[in-house]
Chains A and B, each alone.
Chain A
Amino acid sequence: MASITLNALAHTYTDNPTKPEDYAIREMSHVWEQGGAFALLGPSGCGKSTLLNIISGLLEPSHGEVLFDGKRVNELKPEERNIAQVFQFPVVYDTMTVFDNLAFPLRNIGVPEYKVKSKVYEVAEILELSDQLKRKAKGLSADQKQKVSMGRGLVRDDVSAILFDEPLTVIDPQLKWKLRRKLKQIHEQFNITMVYVTHDQLEASTFADKIAVMYNGQIVQFGTPRELFENPAHTFVGYFIGSPGMNFFEAELKSQGEKEALMFGDHEISVSDAMLTRLKAMGANKVTLGIRPEFVHVWDGKNDDAFSVDVDYVEDLGTYKILSFLFQGQVMKARLSEDQKVPSGQIYVSFPEQWTKVYVDEYLVDVSDQAHSEDPKKETGHAN
């Protein structure tokens, strides 16, 4: 059990990296605290698995350090780091029985046989493999094999951390829920640091206390699911988290007499004065505004403070509806609750000030008092 610190870590697969795109992992510093359940969320190819393999030692980072409890482990091989890792596709030892598979990591470190037995039974019980223990692993179905792979990750209870690399890819949806619950229980029971790589936001938010969102080899935000939803620190987080993702539109900072205003076409978008002052100080003329469909306010009748927009279409998703509308020619979405009446033709929407997020160069401009420690620029030590 350990906290894992990444110190100025970067990794490239090329010999002579010149531009940021040459790096699979761009320079980052990050701490996974001891005992946490973390998710590493991002699209395919963003460097999640690379980062995981660097932590487990399967891959040596080209730059920077990996520390377990403050001790540098760069030079330690995976077998010396005492870490467990579960891979995307099942890895079982075909010729061994399920029991021997689960016992394998324990026997390799010389655990006495009576302890091996009790531990294997315990893990098999949790994963519901008890009646399969005597079978050869070769004849198992894919999801059973994956359970065996996961079991091998869970049998050692003194590991520094357990890393999961999209472990539920091959598992049936119903079983996925169950296994995720189990992992969570195991986490609560043993208090082991767990890092769970996935590209599924639902999987990440049900498993993890805190989620690190990765994009283009960087961690763009590290926070609770709620923080990621309410206060995306990067446009990618807004786009990737939530279904549908955040609405984005470009606005310009213009002077109107004494005052500054954010203009989207002819419309003024209201943001706080502090924000306007900040933007002016930054010298940012063009900004990206983001608002979640959940926070777009759709008025029932005509309203002079709201913008008049045209309804494009409404998708009924069962418990809620998604309204698509055209605002100044741009398609945007709003989420309607079940009991809200379905509008058509010309309607009125407004964007509540507190939920209208302002982004400059893809990163959030935050002027709220509760300045977040997860400001990605500080967190990753990276500036564009």
Chain B
Amino acid sequence: MQTKVENNKAWFLVLPVFLIVAFSAIIPLMTVVNYSVQDIFDPYTRYFVGTEWFKQVMLDSRLHEALLRQFIYSFTILIIEVPLGICVALMMPTKGRGASLALILVAIPLLIPWNVVGTIWQIFGRADIGLFGAFMSSIGVDYNYASDPTDAWLTVVLMDVWHWTPLVALLCYSGLRAIPEVYYQAARIDQASRWAVFRYIQLPKLTNVLIIGVLLRFMDSFMIYTEPFVLTGGGPGSSTTFLSQSLVQQAIGQFDLGPAAAFSLVYFLIILLVCWVFYTTIMNMQKDK
């Protein structure tokens, strides 16, 4: 009987993937880990500080506030964008030229660079010359996103809804198109109401695209930087300063690379954790009980 020949050469075939992942993710990430546990002055002057930076970051009240703000912001836009996106998708025409036209119109906000979106809304919302701001003033609403924290919040949320609802809508649209016609036919035969069709046919079939939509929107909104930076610069005060902006202030503004690195890692872990929670909750909801 022939003995089994040990041959592990196949491992070499996955080497390219290892290399790519190493350069694209692991090595940059390790740099951050490196900074987070040392106090580095120059390449030859560095001290190991252990969990010092992490402790400092965890106790920083400014970061606590930013984190809270960040959560409120992300959940607000999810609560608005997901139902709104589904509604838009349901209303979009399904065939003919209307369908293509609707797709193009809905997709337009997604094609605009993020800092341009910020600029658009900055001008759009200005009380003196902006279409939206001037309109609000003309009907007697005291609206000024540059000085009033509530108005600033409203504008940032509105901007995000305008910018990203189309993503949810397009995902849902594709999900809806994938439902076979026979389901609708069966529902008509069963004399189902419009609501029942949505609740028992459309929504269940949308679950998978909605998981992707919710995860994408959560991650993106949790990391939001450019648009509020251009629109409000994090103000007035620090009312619209979210996590990324705090991080940038710390890392580039103050050049506190150690705490910033520790902060980055905590930030990364929070996103990972929340995504995992979302994913498992939605998957559990679907399970066969």
Q: Chain A residues in contact with chain B, CB under 8 A? A: 53, 56-58, 77-79, 82-85, 87, 89, 91, 93-96, 104-105, 108-109, 135-136, 138-139, 149, 152-153
Q: Return A74 CB to nearest CB of chain B, in Å.
A: 16
Q: Is the CB of B288 within 8 A of A138?
A: yes
Complex CA distance for A18 and B190, rounded to whole angstroms = 37
Q: Is the CB of A78 within 8 A of B189?
A: yes
Complex CA distance for A82 and B203, rounded to whole angstroms = 26
Given known pairs A58-B185, A87-B185, A91-B183, the reply for A108 and B200 (CB within 8 Å) is: no
Q: Is the CB of A77 within 8 A of B204?
A: no
Interface residues in B204-223 (C-beta closer than 8 Å to A): 204-205
Which of B189, B201, B286 makes the CB contact (< 8 A) with A93?
B201
Which residues from chain A contact B190 at a C-beta distance below 8 Å? 104-105, 108, 152
Q: Interface SS of chain B: helix, strand, loop or mixed?
A: helix
Complex CA distance for A155 and B204, rounded to whole angstroms = 24
The total of chain B residues at the interface (CB under 8 A) is 19
Q: Is the CB of A108 within 8 A of B193?
A: yes
Interface residues in B90-132 (C-beta closer than 8 Å to A): none
Which residues from chain B contact A56 at a C-beta distance below 8 Å? 189
Which of A77, A104, A138 makes the CB contact (< 8 A) with B192?
A104
Q: Return B178 CB to nearest CB of chain A, in Å.
A: 14
Q: Chain B residues in contact with chain A, CB under 8 A? A: 182-183, 185-186, 188-193, 196, 200-201, 203-205, 286, 288-289
Q: Return B285 CB to nearest CB of chain A, in Å.
A: 9
Which residues from chain B contact A83 at a C-beta distance below 8 Å? 189
Given known pairs A91-B182, A136-B288, the reply for A58 and B188 (CB within 8 Å) is: yes
Q: Is the CB of A95 within 8 A of B188?
A: no
From B188, B191, B192, B205, residue with most partner A Cβ within 10 Å: B191
Q: Return B187 CB to nearest CB of chain A, in Å.
A: 8
Can you name the residue of chain B whose Cβ is closest to the Cβ of A136? B288
Can you name the residue of chain B whose Cβ is closest to the Cβ of A108? B191
Which residues from chain B contact A136 at a C-beta distance below 8 Å? 288-289
Q: Is the CB of B288 within 8 A of A135?
A: yes
Can you name the residue of chain A whose Cβ is closest to the Cβ of B201? A93
Q: Is the CB of A93 within 8 A of B204?
A: yes
Q: Is the CB of B189 within 8 A of A95?
A: no
Which residues from chain A contact B192 at a C-beta distance below 8 Å? 79, 104, 108
Which residues from chain A contact B205 at a C-beta distance below 8 Å? 94
Q: Return A155 CB to nearest CB of chain B, in Å.
A: 10
Q: Is the CB of B186 within 8 A of A79?
A: no
Q: Which 9 A-B pairs have the closest CB atoms?
A: A139-B288, A91-B186, A105-B190, A136-B288, A78-B188, A79-B191, A93-B200, A108-B191, A95-B204
Q: Is the CB of A87 within 8 A of B186?
A: yes
Q: Return A76 CB to nearest CB of chain B, in Å.
A: 11
Can you name the residue of chain B whose Cβ is closest to the Cβ of A83? B189
Which residues from chain B contact A109 at a C-beta distance below 8 Å? 191
Which residues from chain A contact B183 at a C-beta distance below 8 Å? 91
Q: Return B45 CB to nearest CB of chain A, in Å.
A: 62
Q: Is the CB of B186 within 8 A of A149?
A: yes
Can you name the residue of chain B whose Cβ is closest to the Cβ of A59? B185
Complex CA distance for A53 and B205, rounded to whole angstroms = 24
Extra A-B contacts (17), CB below 8 Å, given A79-B191, A95-B203: A56-B189, A78-B185, A83-B189, A84-B189, A85-B185, A85-B189, A87-B185, A93-B201, A104-B190, A105-B189, A108-B190, A108-B191, A109-B191, A136-B289, A138-B288, A139-B288, A152-B186
